[in-house]
Amino acid sequence: MIRVDRKELTRSEIVRVAANCFLNDGFTKTTVASMAKALNMSTGNMTFYFPTKEHMLAELVNMLCKYQSDLMVEEAKDGYSSITAICLELLTIASACEQDEVAKDFFLSAYRSELCMDLIRKNDKERAKEVFWEYCSDWTEEHFTQTAGLVSGIEYATLFITTESAGLELRVAGALRTILSIYNVPKEIRDEKIKKVLSMDYQKLGLDTLKKFREYVDQTTEQVLIDLLKRKK
C-alpha cells in the first residue's frame, strides 16, 4: 500500500502554486490569501508551512540557482567558457527584466529579500570559487564570502532601472567589467568576454531563458509531486 507523507505533499503543492503565481502574475501582486484560495486551504494552514510569502520566494530562488548551474554545464557543452556563461547570465537576466515586468518584479523582489539574498550570495560565492580560482588562488574563504556580497550588490544595481539609468548595454558592460576586475580577470579576457556576449541577440536570449526557466520550474515542482505519490513506506 502506498502511503503519502501528507505534510510534505501539502508543502510541495504550496511551492508549486506559489512558483506559478510569482512567475506568471508577479511576486508583489500575489497574496497569501489568493494562493490559499487556489489551494482550498486557510491562510493559517499555509503559514504553518511557510511563515511568510518571502519564504515561498526563497524556494523559487533555490530553483533558480540550480537552473543556473545546470545551464552553465549545458553552455560548456556548446563551447562557452565559464566566464562567458557568467557574463551571459547577467546580460540575459537584465534583458528579461527590461522586456517582462513580471520577471523584473521577481528578480528585484529576490534581491530585496534578506532571506533570498543569502541564497544568491552563497550561490555566487560557490560558483566564483570554481570559475575564478585561477585568478584568486590566494584568496581565503572569507575573501570569497565578502566579494560575493559586493557582487550581489552590483547585480542588483544593474537590474534596478530608474529614469536616470544608462542603457542596457552600457549598464551591463560596466557591471561585468567591475565584477571581472574584482576577481582579477585580466583586461584582455574581460574585454573579449564582454564583447562576445554583447554581440549576441541578448533580447531574444533573455526571453528564451525566462521561458525555459518557467518550464523548468513547472517540470521540477510537478516531478516532486509525482515522486511523493510514488513513494512507499
pLDDT digits (tens, 9 = 90+) for 122-149: 999 999 999 999 999 999 999 999 999 9
In this predicted structure, what is the pLDDT of residue 1? 47
Quote the pTM value.
0.91
* CA within 13 Å, CB half, 22: 29
The average pLDDT across 99-126 equals 95
In this predicted structure, what is the pLDDT of residue 231? 65
Mean of the per-residue pLDDT values of the chain: 92
583586461: which residue's cell? 187
The average pLDDT across 48-68 equals 94
Taking only the tens place, the pLDDT of each residue in 163-203 is 888 899 999 999 999 999 999 999 999 999 999 999 999 99
Q: What percent of the chain has pLDDT over 90?
A: 81
In this predicted structure, what is the pLDDT of residue 222? 86
